[in-house]
Amino acid sequence: MVMIRLMFIISVFAFLFSSCTEDDSNNILNDPDYFPNTVGSYWVYERYDSLAEKKDTVTVSITGDTLIYGDNYNVWNYIYSYRIDTLLVLQTNDSVIFYNPRIDRITQIYIVPFETGDIWTNPDQYVDSSYVSDVQDLTIDGINYHDAVFIERNAHDWNDYLTENIWIKPEIGLIKLERTHFVFGPYKIESWFLIEKSIH
């Protein structure tokens, strides 16, 4: 009788634990703040080009939304000193999709919530895989970021080779990026560091 009661108690706790874990995961999937994608938000990055030995800033701002193939994407503008790039971003279930309307393809995907060891691929790229390698503490511009997710990304297509080390802090977004890119010409090696933000 004692053994039966013990097994019953263990079963109840196991059920409650699994239910809480599932609920937590569902809450994150339905939480627009986990991977910020709200109109009015912006991030300012200091960008350093180590080959050209030049430093400038990039402002990323979410300015509105638009309907693409029946889905409502938010408009992300990347404002450089010499150009403006536009990507459209959509979270659907566990996928955060970055879509480039100029070339009509997905340029990057994140799978949330981030878990160490997770691997995913971009279906619109010949080879494009991302791997959640670690969770780290970083200090950037005097600000401490605890439990930032470290993602290693490798992508290549015809004469286009890209490697990225990406640090994302949930509810804040990208805080650091190291990128090496070769596309029909010399390599580009650059680093981005978050220096200002406003998240709505």
Question: Does the structure show a pLDDT above 90 at 50?
Answer: no
CA torsion, points 63, 165, 173, 85, in degrees to nearest 10?
Answer: 0
Q: Which of 118, 98, 78 is nearest to 35 (CA)?
A: 98
Burial 151-186 (b: 16+ CB within 10 A, else e): bebebeeeeeebebebbbbbebbbbbbbbebeeeee
CA 112 – CA 29 distance, rounded (Å): 7
Q: With respect to CATH, is domain 31-198 assigned 3.30.1390?
A: no
CA 116 – CA 98 distance, rounded (Å): 22
Question: Does the structure show a pLDDT above 90 at 108?
Answer: yes
Domain chopping of the chain, boundaries: 1-30, 31-198
Question: Does the structure show a pLDDT above 70 at 8?
Answer: no
Question: Does the structure show a pLDDT above 60 at 174?
Answer: yes
Q: What is the mean pLDDT of residues 189-199?
A: 96
According to the model, what pLDDT value does residue 27 have?
A: 54
